[in-house]
Structure 1
Amino acid sequence: MNMKTVGAIAVLCLIWGSLWGLVKFSLQIFPPFLFIAARLILAGLTLLVVQRMLGKSILPAREDWNKLIISSLMLCVGFYAAQTFAMQFVDSGLSAVLVFTMPIFIAVLAHYILNEHLSRQKILGLVFGALGLISILWPQLHHIHMNLALLGQGMLIGVGFMWALTTVYMKKHFASYDKLKLTIWQMLLGGGLILIGALILEPVHLNVWTTPFNVSILFYISVIGTGASFVMWNWIVSQVDTFVASISIMSIPVLSLIFGYVFWHEPLTVNILIGAVLILSGIVCSSVKIRSFKTSDVIS
């Protein structure tokens, strides 16, 4: 993994790590589905302007539309909309942890669909990451009972699976595709569909959408946290092994837990700290190439 890719991963982790608490806060202001529709459409339109300024083509070829629609539904409905709905019932830090079961799913999917074989090093890194997530979730596993919080937690694990499936689909069908154009149409197609449903199901209060503070939050979440970040993610996936890309961003739930503790007063326990160490160990184990030393390499 070169320094450019490492830098992109670091920036993405900081942005997405800080985003979870802000999204949770936004759900106290905006109706959930109107919020996610506005988030996606604003992100798509901003990227559309950037694509035009760069002088690149905007409209996809006719043969690309079916695959774009499928990837948009998977990403925007199966990931973003489901995640936003479930986060109404679950703390932001815990939400991030549950969604980031994604590398566990992607390891299996990429092995069978993309022929990205599970090496011993990857498996060991995955085990460390899974143990980290279990450590963080351990208190919840002791007190399972049916309520909206449990429903939300189950949905968020499903969101992690859908993200993994979407990532593998994009790697398979859009590996060499213009990443900016790909993200534009994923956001606009999915956001437009969600907007239609939201206008039917949710009330529209204009004062909520015109307050400068609310607009600034929506702008950051949409343009930086969604549009620019997902272009970056699509680029990262195209540069490295899908599994390495997915496990390299497993520091995001750790960062979201820290941000949640500092800014949103969510709990930070010993289990969480142990889990953070295990997750970071998994990242290092999976991403760093370990050289095999031979006798000839040793200098007397």
Structure 2
Amino acid sequence: MNIRVVSAIALLCLVWGSLWGLVKHSLQVFPPFLFISTRLILAALTLVVVQFILKKSILPKTGEWKPLIILSAMVCFGFYATQTFAMQFVDSGLSAVLVFTMPIFIGVLAHYFLNEHLNKQKIVGLILGTFGLIAILWPQLQHLHLNLSLVGEFFLIGSGFFWAMATIYIKRNFATYDKIKLTIWQLLIGGIAIFIGALMFETVDKTVWQDPLNESLLFYIAVVGTGFAFVLWNWIVSQVDTFIASISIMCIPVLSLFFGAIIWGESLTVNIFIGAALICSGIVASSLKFNSKKAQLAYCTKQSQ
């Protein structure tokens, strides 16, 4: 990976790592589906302004609507709406860990649908990352009970699966598509649909929406954590192997756990540190390119001539 991609991944990890606790807090303040739909619409409209300033096309062509609607359904309903429902019952740090089972799904889906084969190096990285997630989840796995928390945890894993599907779909159908324009419509179509449904079932309390702190949180989550971050993610996916992109952001749940401890007082355990070490090892194992002995010999022969 070149320095631009590495820098983009690092920035994305910081933004999304800081986001989970803020979203968890916001779900205790705002009605959940009004919050998520407003977040998606605000992010999309901000990007419309950016696209207008850049004097680039905003409206899709006739033949582009169908794949954009399919993508928006996967992102907004499969990923965001499912995640929003589940996070009402699960801590922010644990939510991030469960959603970031996504690279596991990506590894399998990309192998079959993108011809990005799972070589030994990727498999080692995936195994290390999976063991890292298991280490972090181990206390919960020892005390499983059928309750809303467990239901929420399954929904979060489902959210990760839909994110993986959406990422594969983007790679197959929108590899060269304008990334800002893509993000606008993948957020806006589903966001409007969720907003209409939320208005029918959730109460609008003006005092909540007019509070300056709440407005500031919503602005950061929508504009930076959703609009800007998804443009960045869509660009990263277009630049590198899909699996490498996905496993490279597996440090986000670790960052989320640390942010949760610092800002929200959520506990850090030995399991978290072990899991963090395994996940980082998995990222390194998957991302670094190791020259084979044959390649090294050829290089040395060439240098000696």
Query: TM-score surpassing 0.5?
Result: yes
Which runs of structure 2 are paired with 1:93-242 in the superposition (5 Å)?
Answer: 93-242=93-242
- Measure the CA separation in 2 of the matches of 1:266 and 1:147: 21
**Partner amino acid, structure 2, of 1:3:** I
- Measure the CA separation in 2 of the matches of 1:271 and 1:205: 41
- Residue 63 of structure 1 aligns with which residue? 63
Q: Deviation per CA, 1:63-92, whole angstroms, max 9, x where unpaired?
A: 000000000010011101110110000000
Which runs of structure 2 are paired with 1:22-101 in the superposition (5 Å)?
Answer: 22-101=22-101
- Measure the CA separation in 2 of the matches of 1:292 and 1:219: 49
- Residue 283 of structure 1 aligns with which residue? 283
- Measure the CA separation in 2 of the matches of 1:147 and 1:29: 23
- State the 1:295 CA deviation: 4.1
**Partner amino acid, structure 1, of 2:186:** Q
What's the TM-score, normalizing by structure 2?
Answer: 0.97
**Partner amino acid, structure 1, of 2:212:** P
**Partner amino acid, structure 2, of 1:138:** W
**Partner amino acid, structure 1, of 2:97:** V
- State the 1:267 CA deviation: 1.4
Q: Deviation per CA, 1:167-215, whole angstroms, max 9, x where unpaired?
A: 0011100000000000001111011000011001100111111111110
Q: Deviation per CA, 1:29-69, whole angstroms, max 9, x where unpaired?
A: 10000000000000000000000000001000000000000
Q: Deviation per CA, 1:9-45, whole angstroms, max 9, x where unpaired?
A: 0000000000000000001110000000000000000
- Measure the CA separation in 1 of the matches of 2:121 and 2:223: 36
- State the 1:292 CA deviation: 2.1
**Partner amino acid, structure 1, of 2:198:** A
SS in structure 2 opposite 1:204? coil
Tell me, yes or no, if structure 1 residue 273 matches structure 2 residue 273.
yes
**Partner amino acid, structure 2, of 1:56:** K
- Measure the CA separation in 2 of the matches of 1:267 and 1:88: 19
- Measure the CA separation in 2 of the matches of 1:247 and 1:182: 23
Aligned-residue Cα RMSD (Å) equals: 1.1
**Partner amino acid, structure 2, of 1:166:** A
Q: Deviation per CA, 1:221-244, whole angstroms, max 9, x where unpaired?
A: 000000000000000000000000
**Partner amino acid, structure 2, of 1:25:** H
**Partner amino acid, structure 1, of 2:120:** R
What's the TM-score, normalizing by structure 1?
Answer: 0.98
After superposition, the Cα gap between the structure-2 partners of 1:295 and 1:115, relative to the gap in structure 1 and judged at 3 Å, is: closer
- State the 1:145 CA deviation: 0.7
- Residue 14 of structure 1 aligns with which residue? 14
**How many corresponding residue pairs?**
300
